[in-house]
Amino acid sequence: MALIEARNLEKVYGGKSPTRALSGINIKIEKGEFVAIMGASGSGKSTLLHIIGFLDKATGGEYLYNGKLAGSYTDDEMSRLRNKEIGFVFQSFNLLPRTSVLENVKLPLYYSEVPEKEWNERALKAIDSVGLSERAGYEPSELSGGEQQRAAIARALVTDPLLILADEPTGNLDSKSGQVVIDILQNLHDKNGHTIVLITHETVTAEHALRIIKLQDGAVESDSPVKRRKSLDDYQK
């Protein structure tokens, strides 16, 4: 059973001049896969990611998460999925200012079922996993862009999610910082078995995944395995 399945998925934004963002999307993503979704601006890739993460709803077709139709989940169930099973990483970091890295990473735990006595330990473990232990007490303004994105990844990891959704996570970073972020995501997949869906417009970034889905005008243009997967070693030669 696929973790993520879209059947003829449609998304139309209303108004006097309706805009069709998705048009008959059919995809399956299994547990433990690392998939990159590529496409030009306006191709529908972020819209698709938002539907996968229960941040938006399709206007046609079917979306199934773990074999269950999205429309069958209650609002409370969707909130629980977003908190416990899905970790989000966005291009803009979305860290709270004047708040330490530790407190930022702990935020999802406030809405979880994890006992409060475990929050610090969990948060510090997540921070360590992205190499920011020495920055745990720093505020976002004291961090580089790459460090801020790594803090955002730690926040996404703190509830030990099944699925990580990363929307252009390197978009605001220089090439070196972006490579560090992608290497962290690749390690999360390879070593920890996380399912990762990565949105990007950069081929060199997408090639860290095992499979690339290309969208064009809201439809799947191609869906194929990566022929030669990129790794950190490629940038150290």
Backbone phi, psi, residue 181, to 5°: -65, -45
Does residue 158 sit in helix, strand or coil? coil
How many beta carbons lie within 10 A of that of residue 26, not counting itself?
Answer: 13
| 3-59 per-position pLDDT tens digit | 999 999 999 998 778 889 999 999 999 999 999 999 998 899 999 999 999 999 999
Question: What is the block-wise mean pLDDT of the chain (237 residues), using blocks of 10 residues?
Answer: 96 86 96 95 93 95 96 92 92 90 94 91 95 95 94 94 93 88 91 93 91 96 89 54
From 1, 16, 6, select the one nearest 60 (Cα to Cα): 6
Distance CA 229, CA 211 (A): 9
CATH 3.40.50.300 fits 33-57+76-231, yes or no: yes
Residues 6+ apart with CB under 8 A from 212: 35, 36, 37, 38, 206, 222, 223, 224, 225, 226
